[in-house]
Amino acid sequence: MNQYYIVNFIMNRNNHFCLWYTDELDGFEVEDNKLIWFKQENNMKLFCYDKNITFSDGVISFDIDQLSDMIKFKPEEFDCNLILDMWNIFSDVSKSVNLPFKGDNDMVLDIYSKIFYGNNLPAINTSGKKYIPIWNEEELEIIYEVLYQGICILESALV
């Protein structure tokens, strides 16, 4: 049974409230290969009530404007948790609207793994030592390409 969450993408200083679901497959509610979204949280809630969709309390927000700024400056160090969350969300968006996403390509699996392990999840990292990934220029370029493409997919899905 799907669990639903309201997600707010903040883009161009505007809110875009969407409906994300998770189960065996994760994705977003779509219509005609576009994300269903509203400018106001209450309108998304009304949509859910009309469709008898039960959703979790609270809103998950992703500041795409902040991510875009980060991509412009391409820092060598970043929060792996943020990057992993965005990578996974962009993957879910792309699958929902049937667009290919570079982040789902097996050729970037090693980079994704480094980001994943850089989260130092207690269930995964039992060594007690914090893992901090070291990135080379090519890996950083790929990370920022994946994130940029994810933003482009999201923008096209919100039309």
Q: What are phi and psi of 24, to 5 degrees?
A: -65, -35
What pLDDT is attached to residue 108? 97
What pLDDT is attached to residue 127? 85
What pLDDT is attached to residue 137? 96
Q: What are phi and psi of 23, to 5 degrees?
A: -165, -140
**How far is residue 48's CA from residue 52's CA, in Å, rounded to a whole number?**
6
Q: What is the pLDDT along the chain (159 residues), one digit of tens a residue?
A: 789 999 999 999 999 999 999 999 999 999 999 999 999 999 999 999 999 999 999 999 999 999 999 999 999 999 999 999 999 999 999 999 999 999 999 999 999 999 999 999 888 888 888 999 999 999 999 999 999 999 999 999 998
What pLDDT is attached to residue 26? 96
What pLDDT is attached to residue 159? 84
What pLDDT is attached to residue 123? 86
Q: CA 56, 150, 38: angle at the middle one, nearest 5?
A: 45
What pLDDT is attached to residue 81? 95
- Enclosing domain of residue 63: 3-157
Three-class DSSP category at 129? coil
What pLDDT is attached to residue 63? 98
Q: Sign (positive/negative) of CA torsion 72, 101, 103, 19?
A: positive
Total number of residues shown for the chain? 159
Total number of domains in the chain: 1
What pLDDT is attached to residue 126? 83
Query: What 8-state DSSP symbol labels residue 101?
Result: -
